[in-house]
Structure 1
C-alpha cells in the first residue's frame, strides 16, 4: 500500500501543533502538509506561530485568506468588530449566553475551514485531513463546531463528497486540553513557538479564555509556560 499523505489544519496554537507533531510521527514529515487560514482576526500572531512550527517540523506550509467571508460578523475576534474580547473563563462566559456559543465563536468557522481544507487536501493528494478539536472547546456549547457530533457529520460529508478519497481525523475530539498537552510532551512539541492568546500583544494577555485554558493544561502537565 502506498504511504498516505495528511493535511493538518494548523493555527499555530497548542492543539494544532500537537496534531502536526502527531501527523509527522504517523505519516512522516515528507507526507504532511500544514494549512493555515487567515479569517480576519485582529492580529496575525497565531499565523506567525504557524509559520514557525511548520518550519520547525520542516513540512510544506500553505496559507489561505478567507477573511471576506466573515466580514458581516461582529464576532469579537475579528478586526472589523468593536466588541471587546472577554477576559474571563469560558465557564464564566457561558453563564451569560443562555446556551448560545461564546462571543469568540466565529460563525461556522470550522465548517468552512474543513470544507476549504478538503479541497486543498484532495488537490495535494492527501487522504487524511487532520483537525485539532478537543472536548474542552466543545463543552457547554462554547464552540459547537468542535464537538464530536460535528466532527462525525463533517467526516461523513467529506468522505461522501470526495468519493471516499478523503476522511477527517480528529484524534483529540474526546480528550481535554490537558490530555492533548500530555501527548505533546510525549512528542516533544516546542510549545514555546506556539501562540494561543486572542489578544495581539507582545506577550499573552493571560486573562482571555484561551490563555486560561492553555495555562491550566500546561500546569496539569508540570509545564510553567504561557
Structure 2
C-alpha cells in the first residue's frame, strides 16, 4: 500500500460523512477515517462510525480522537445537556440565525487535527462532509471558510511549503440533501448504518433540524430512509 494515494475522511457516522467515505473510495483513495469524540449528545454516531469503517474494511485504520474539552466548554445544545435541541415541528427553521446546535470552533479543530494526521501519514487530501445548501446555518460549513483553512494548511505544513499542499475536499458542499442521497445510493453507501439525529436515541427523533433535513432529502430523492424514527412525518 506504500504507493497508494491516501485520504483522511472526517467520519462522524452521519449521512454526509459516510457519503464522503463512499466518494473517496470511488476516487481510489486508501481511506484513513478519523472520528472525534467531543462529548456530543448524539454519541450513537461514534458506534455508527465504527460500523461504517468496518463496512469499508478499514477498521484497523479508524482512529477516534478524544476532544472532551468541547463538552467542558459547552455553548451548544450538542454538548450541554441544559440546552434543549430544538423541535423543528414546533419552532420552525430560521436561516437568519445560527442555531443552538452550532458547536463553537468544531470544524476548525477537526480540520487542524486532520491536517496533522494527513501530513504524518502522507495523505494528499482531507474529506469533510460540509454542505452550504441543505444545512443548519453553521458558519464553519461555508465554502469561504474551507478555502481559508486550505490556505492556512498550505502555509503551516512542510508539504505545503514544499509545493505539495494537502487538499480539503468538500464534494457535498453545493449539493442538496437529495443530491447527496442519490449519489450515495448509487455508490452503495450504507445509510442503514448511519444516523443524523441530534438527540442521539436509538430511534432517530424525527423532529430535530438534522432529522428533518435528512427525511426531506430522502423524500425528494424518491427513496426510503432505512433507519427508524420515533416521529416520521
- Normalising by structure 1, we get a TM-score of 0.89
Offset at residue 43 of structure 1 (A): 3.6
Match of 1:129 in 2: 126
SS in 1 for 2:219: helix
Supply the RMSD in Å over aligned alpha carbons: 1.9
Asked if 2 retains the 8 angstrom alpha-carbon contact of 1:138 and 1:147, the reply is: no
| Separation in 1, partners of 2:56, 2:211 | 24
Aligned pairs (5 A) from 1:88-167: 88=88, 92-94=92-94, 99-136=96-133, 142-163=137-158, 164=160, 165-167=165-167
Distance 1:86 1:69 in 2: 20
Q: Is the 8 A contact 1:135 1:146 kept in 2?
A: yes
CA contact (8 A) 1:137 1:143 kept: no
Would you say how many aligned residue pairs link Structure 1 and Structure 2? Answer: 217
Which residue is 2:21 aligned to? 20
State the partner residue of 1:190: 190
Please list every run of 5 or more consecutive structure 2 residues that lacks an aligned counterpart in the other structure.
Answer: 228-233
CA contact 2:37–2:66 (8 Å) conserved in 1: yes
Instruction: Describe the SS at the equivalent of 1:136.
Output: coil
Q: For 1:71, what is the secondary structure of its paired residue?
A: helix
1:67 maps to 68
Taking the aligned partners of 1:17 and 1:110, their CA distance within structure 2 comes to: 16
For 1:10-89, list aligned pairs within 5 A. Answer: 10-28=11-29, 31-59=30-58, 60-78=61-79, 80-88=80-88
Deviations 1:156-195 (CA, angstroms, capped at 9, x unpaired): 1112212424121111112121111111011011101111
Which runs of 5 or more structure 1 residues have no equivalent in the other structure?
Answer: none
Q: Are the equivalent residues in 2 in contact too, given 1:138–1:145 (CA < 8 A)? A: no
Q: CA contact under 8 A between 2:42 and 2:197: conserved in structure 1?
A: no
Quick one: distance in 2 between partners of 1:69 and 1:205?
Answer: 24
The 8 Å contact of residues 158 and 168 in structure 1, kept in 2 or not, is answered as no
Deviation at 1:70, TM superposition (A): 4.3
| Mapped contact 2:75–2:104 kept (Cα < 8 A) | no
**Contact between 2:135 and 2:213, CA under 8 Å: does it hold in 1?**
no
Cα separation, 2, equivalents of 1:174 and 1:94: 20
Does the CA-based 8 Å contact 2:88-2:207 persist in structure 1?
yes
